[in-house]
Amino acid sequence: MHGRSLSRLYATRPTSCAVVPDSFLRRADPRTKLALSILASLAVMLPLPRLVVFVSAYAVLVLAAGLVRQVGEQVWRIRLLLLVLFALDWVFIGAGFAVLITLRLVLLVTSFTLLFATTTPEEMRQAIERLGVPPRFAFVFATTYRSLELVRSEWLGIIEAQRARGITLQETREWSWTAWRARLAWAVSLIVPAVVLVAQRAWSITEAAAVRGFDSPRRLPARSLRLARVDHVLLAATAGLFAGLYIWQ
């Protein structure tokens, strides 16, 4: 088993709660945050002066919502790409273009942090349902996300169980057909039991949901999303900003 992959498995904890503590954005409706994220990603098409204004407003939003660390992490991951692109653009085209591309890339990479870092899977499910997606798909999504921990422990269990009978991946840089066959055989020995276990679990959930009336046409959600004042303020502010940018041209 690849050591780094294992530590990534343990490090990437699929917790079911949003990472950020309470903030006005955390309390906003997921549909509002989705709209903001989409608008932020579309804003990459703005020319440089207006893009600077938009990114400044975006930075203020990120700061106020307590998302600096999350956005910073995203930008840090692409730092090499940003540096190389910035240098190449400056040298071959010009400083203004280099700044434009950098800002666009940063905005594109971080735009959906507004949504994903501040929304729990349960809220995501409710939003998906309110957007008109059939409840079955919303339920499947939420259940799958909740099952990540379980699937992960099963996955680790499979790796250990196969290792106990001598089925391991030999770390080698060999490129021969024999070496590749061994790699593929190892992968098959893990994936087959994983698919079986996942299918069994999915079936248990299907039965459990069905015996509690899941497919009922009378279904009424106990909780439903409603736009609150914070949503109206955010949407109005965003609309005002875009209107201002449009008039400016």
Partner 1 sequence: MLAALVVLANVTLRFPIRMPGHSGVVWMALLVVARAVVPRHGAAAVAALFSGIMAALMGVGDKGALDTVLSYLAAGVGVDLVMVVAGNPERAIVCVAAAMTGNIFKLAVKVLLELWIGIPTGFILLGRLYPAATHVVFGAAGGYLGFLVLRALRRAGFFAYLAERR
Partner 2 sequence: MGARAIVAAEQAAYQYGGCGTSIGPFDFEAGPGEFHLLAGPSGCGKSTLARLLSGVIPHLYRGQLHGRVTIDGRPTEAVPLWELSARVGLVSQNPAAQLLTSTVGDEIAFGLENSGMAADEIEARSAYALDCFGLVDVIDRDPRTLSGGEQQKLLLSALTARAPEVLILDEPLSMLDASAAVQVVDHLRHLARTGTAIVAFDHRSDCYSGVDGLSTKALAGMPASTSTLPELPQNVPPFRFKVEGLGVRLGACRVLEDVNIELAGGQVVTIVGANGSGKTTLLRALAGLQAYKGRVLTSTSKPPRLGLCFQNPDRQIFNATVREEILFGLAHHDEDFYHLVLDLLGLTPYEYTPPLLLSEGEKKRLGLAIVLLRPGLGGVCLDEPTLGQDMQQRRVLGRIIRRLAAAGYLCVTATHDLEWARQWSDRIVRLDRGEICDCAPAPAPSTATARTMLLPPSLVNPCTDGH
Residues that bind partner 1 (CB under 8 A): 2, 4-6, 8-9, 12, 14, 37, 41, 44-45, 73-74, 77-78, 85, 88-89, 92-93, 100-101, 104-105, 108-113, 115-116, 119, 121, 124, 137, 140-141, 143-145, 147-148, 151-152, 155, 169, 171, 173, 180, 183-184, 187-188, 190-192, 194-196, 198-199, 201-203, 205
Q: Binding to partner 2 by residue 205, rule CB under 8 A? A: yes
Taking the complex as a whole, how short is the minimal distance between the CB of residue 229 and partner 1, in angstroms?
27
Whose Cβ is closer to partner 2: residue 157's or residue 244's?
157
- Window 137-176: contact mask with partner 2 (x via CB under 8 A): ------x--x--xx---x--xx-xxxxxxxx---------
Pick one of partner 2, partner 1, none as the site partner of residue 160 (Cβ within 5 to 8 A by kind). partner 2
Residues in the chain: 249
Whose Cβ is closer to partner 2: residue 213's or residue 246's?
213
Pick one of partner 2, partner 1, none as the site partner of residue 12 (Cβ within 5 to 8 A by kind). partner 1
Provide the token pair at 249: 């041209």
Provide the token pair at 196: 């079986």
Whose Cβ is closer to partner 1: residue 23's or residue 144's?
144
Please list, residue by residue across 176-209, b when 16 or more beta carbons sit within 10 angstroms of its beta carbon and e when fewer do. Answer: eeeeeeeeeebeebbeebbeebbeeeeeebeeee
**What is the rounded distance in angstroms from the CA atom of residue 220 to the CA atom of residue 124?**
17
* Crossing angle for the helix pair 30-42 and 95-110, to the nearest 10 degrees: 160
Count of H helices and E strands in the chain? Answer: 13, 0
Q: Binding to partner 2 by residue 133, rule CB under 8 A? A: no
Q: Binding to partner 2 by residue 22, rule CB under 8 A? A: no
What's the distance, CA 131 to chain centroid?
A: 18
**What is the rounded distance in angstroms from the CA atom of residue 152 to the CA atom of residue 248?**
52
Provide the token pair at 184: 């593929």
Closest of 97, 104, 123, 98 to residue 34, by C-alpha: 123
**What is the rounded distance in angstroms from the CA atom of residue 196 to the CA atom of residue 179?**
26
Pick one of partner 1, partner 2, none as the site partner of residue 85 (Cβ within 5 to 8 A by kind). partner 1
Where do contacts with partner 2 occur on this chain (CB under 8 A)?
16, 121-122, 143, 146, 149-150, 154, 157-158, 160-167, 188-189, 192-193, 196-197, 200-201, 204-223
